[in-house]
Amino acid sequence: MMGNVMNKKKILLIDDDREFAQELGEALAINGYAVTITGDVNDVLNVAKKSGPDVILLDLKMPEKNGFQVARELHEDAETKGIPVIAISACYRNGEFFLMRIDGIKKYLGKPFSPEEVIAEIESVLAKR
């Protein structure tokens, strides 16, 4: 089944909560995704360029830089601007949806969510590419 390995969709998960990121990463891997995890918001562009993800899952609430700032960096870089970003966060205010659109965020998923929910969003975003 070598062909199947080559077709794995790549997910970049950006979240400073290591335990949450590990659990979500494992759930995605079990469901056939190749997952790269980083909590280093200052190295996101490099990690994204190296890992070449099909979709980015991005926490909005992180220290140092928030998810909107990270999304803007990804959206403004020629190499990463076409990668769909799904925002994930426990804290969300209605006014932030406008910011998400400006920063290139395609979808929002409120924590807590089930692995099935996040996979459905990933597949929905991939289907639109």
Report if pTM > 0.85. Answer: yes
What's CA 106's distance to the chain center, in Å?
Answer: 10
Residue 42 sits in a domain whose CATH number is 3.40.50.2300
Task: Judge whether residue 94 has pLDDT over 70.
Answer: no
Q: What is the mean pLDDT of the segment spanning 18-38?
A: 96
Task: Judge whether residue 16 has pLDDT over 70.
Answer: yes
- 101-128 in b/e form (b: 16+ CB < 10 A) is eebbbbbebebeeeeeebbebbeebeee
Mean pLDDT, rounded, of the chain: 88
Task: Judge whether residue 109 has pLDDT over 80.
Answer: yes
Choice between 15 and 6, residue whose per-residue pLDDT is larger = 15
Number of domains in the chain: 1
Q: What is the mean pLDDT of the segment spanning 103-129?
A: 88
Confidence class of residue 17 from pLDDT cuts 50, 70 and 90? very high
Domain span at residue 28? 2-127
- The mean-pLDDT minimum among 1-5, 12-16, 53-57 falls in 1-5
Give per-residue pLDDT as tens, 34-79.
999 999 989 999 999 999 999 999 998 888 888 889 999 999 999 9
